[in-house]
Structure 1
Amino acid sequence: MGTEYEKDHIKKLQEQRMSMQKKTFTNWMNNVFFRNNVKVEIEDIYTDLKDGISLMQLLELLSGEALPRPNRGKMRVHFLENNSKAITFLKSKQVQVKVIGPENIVDGDRTLILGLIWIIILRFQISSIKLDKVKQSDVLFANEALLLWCQHKTASYSNVNVKDFSKSWSDGLAFNALIHAHRPDLIHYSSLRQDQPIKNLNNAFDVAEKELGISKLLDAEDVAVPYPDERSIMTYVSLYYHYFSRLKQGQTIQKRLTKIMFFLKEIDDLKLLYEQMVSDLLKWIKQKVMELDDRHFPNSLQEMWLLMANFKTFRTVEKPPKYQEKGMIEAHLFNIRTKQRANNQRPYLPPEGRMLQDVEKHWIILEKAEHNRGKALQKEMLRLERLEQLAQRFMNKAALRESYLEDMRKVIGKQDFWPESADRMEAASKKLEAIVADVLPRRERFTALDEMATVISQENYHGKDQIVKK
């Protein structure tokens, strides 16, 4: 009695499992055709694959390879031929299909047809599943990798404990957790209750279909049972994996593009800064060269001392920071090119007139102008000092000459110098002869004084008018 009951129970479970597989695999195949814009719709997986044409089309879409052209005949031999081509193709891809033959598909063998579709799903949809964080030494089957992925994504969710692809999914919470883990904006997970499996399942299936474009392969009623079919659950969950993997890849590409855009913007900003730094420094250099080349010096020592002080300020205060700027420009350009090399970018070539050699060339011109300015200032200082000394000597000598002339005026102005009688004329004449004898030798001294005044005037001494007047 118990044995018969067990047999009936097992048979019933097998029929439920096969029924769920049939629905899932049919929906899966139609989803493949729909995604690839192929106008084929499978209604009964046991009969619609009979001619082998739909099966060949499915394999072409999944593999991306062309199979031999199918025979469009309507006879059994034509159906066998087409299914044989499909099975041969699978064998060429190292897919184990030893049990099933073309006649099993043509005859509608339900068990073997479901097995064949499952093998195709494993080969073309599940076998590519890999985990990035698993060590290379840890060899995992695709179904194990998919299970680990599900466990990792749902580990933090309450009332979710993914141990398999069957009863762990019955209450629908695991499906909702998978979606929420990637898109928390789509699922209000805290509002879900474990005792409402149908509601949970439909919520996840509807959101996945409407918001993510993941086809609804399963019916909530088929999943909300103690032991839903593993192959059906795995097939459907694999769609989640591939969708979110593509999403992650898209986000990674987007991040990479954003990073590239930020990098290019950063490089452009650095280039503009470099060119501005060079322009500012060259502008300063050219202005300073003009100032340093100016030879319109003042003609007084006091003003020249001020000019010398300004020149010293230029050399010790103004120029050193500009020399540091020059070094910063070189370092800045090196930084740009280092960043470009790290990102496999062609090195930046500054525009004509703003290259490092242009900066170096103008800096050399500046230093030459500085050197010449120093020599010119020193030479002018010596000239003015000499003039100042010459003017001082002139004034000293002029004072002596003035004093002498004043003495002579006094002598000539005395009354006894102009005799009133003839007897005194001789004495006065001798006195005049003595004065002439004293004055004439001094003529050269007055001439020398005049020559000194001429030199002072020609040299543009600041007191030349007073000297010439004197």
Structure 2
Amino acid sequence: IFYLSFKDGLAFCALIHRHRPDLLDYSKLTKDDPLGNLNLAFDIAEKHLDIPKMLDAEEINNSIKADEKVVMTYVSSYYHAFSTTRKAEQAASRICKVLSVNQENEQMMAEYERLASDLLEWIRKTKPWLENRATDNTLHGTQAKLGEFRDYCRSQKPPRLSQKAKLETDFNTLQTRLRLSNRPAFTPTEGKLIANIVDAWKGLELAEKGFEDWLLRELRRLERLDHLAKKFQHKCNIHEEWSYGKIDLLTSSDFKRCSLNDLRALSRKHLAFESDLAAHQDRVEQIAAIAQELNVLGYDQIAMVNQRCQQICNEWDQLGDLTHKRRVALTDAERIVERIDSLFLEYAKKASPYVNWLDGAREDLVDMFFIHTLDEIRGLIEAHHQFKATLGEAGAEYKNIIRLVSDARQTCQENGLEFISNPYSNIQPEVNSKATILFFIFLKSQKLR
């Protein structure tokens, strides 16, 4: 029976809760309080839904059979009340939905403008960096730039690529929403169209194209430069250590104070040095070749390299000239010293017999003699005359001996050599030996008379 469904009041409360849950809490209601349920429903309906109280709660609760028509009329009042409310709510909902859609569209437009401006500004700042194909010409600086580029590829570009894709998606979505809402199509501000963004992105990728390859080539060039610079430094250090003191040695006049044997030893030593010099020719050529390659590759400290290379080359040319001059000087000195040595040897050969003759003559002239007959005196006088006859030959021999010493001394002076002692003889020429002999001859002649 229809009216029995509303007897406990829960049905009226359920209708109100279904359409206006804000007016009562249906979960707190029970069947055990039908009168309370009815009064609650009737009071809320009258106060909030403008439905007049057509029924009495006690009458419905206590009567065995209520008037079904009255109940149905009252229930229909709920229908009309909720029907009117629903239409208003629907209209309001539609208006709110339209306003919400418009607001969302406006937000999407503003967000598009913001993202487009941000992306284009990032491209504007990044593109010149990618187009700049210059480094500080140092290995450390180029490695740092390569690290920055790889960070750009890993960390900076991917979010911007996602931002570009989002802009394209949001733009298409916004145009679809506007078309469905019968709104005019969205036109971004000048320079922020999708076509502008695509063109800017293509320009970025064009600048990016080949950037890493160029950086890697530059890095390999600088690594090669660093290797060559260290190699140049090492070879220069070795060469300079080897050449230290060589110029002083080659310009030395030590050979002017040497004997023939020492001079020959110096000549052999010089031949060994010439062989060593020829062996170092290859190193000097390598130094020059490395310096040339450093010039071609654009080494940043090329001025210092060129200066050092030029110094080494100049020194090398000087060493070559001095080596040749010393070889000529040693050869000439050896020839001259051989001449002096031959004079010394000839002096030794002549001086020893002459000194022996001189010593013997002195002994004979000062020697005491005992005679007993006139014939003995005559014999001594004859022998004395024969001795005096040999004085001319002895004088000539003495002059030859003195001339040998004089020639040796003059040869040394003319060639700038130091006059050394005779290695073959310790005999010194006596300038007054002839006068001494003559004096002794005079004394002996007096005695013989």
TM range (shorter): 0.3 to 0.5
Q: Which structure's relative contact order is higher, taking Cα pairs within 8 Å and 6+ residues apart?
A: 2
Instruction: Choose between structure 1 and 2: higher helix proportion.
Output: 2
Q: Which has the larger radius of gyration?
A: 2
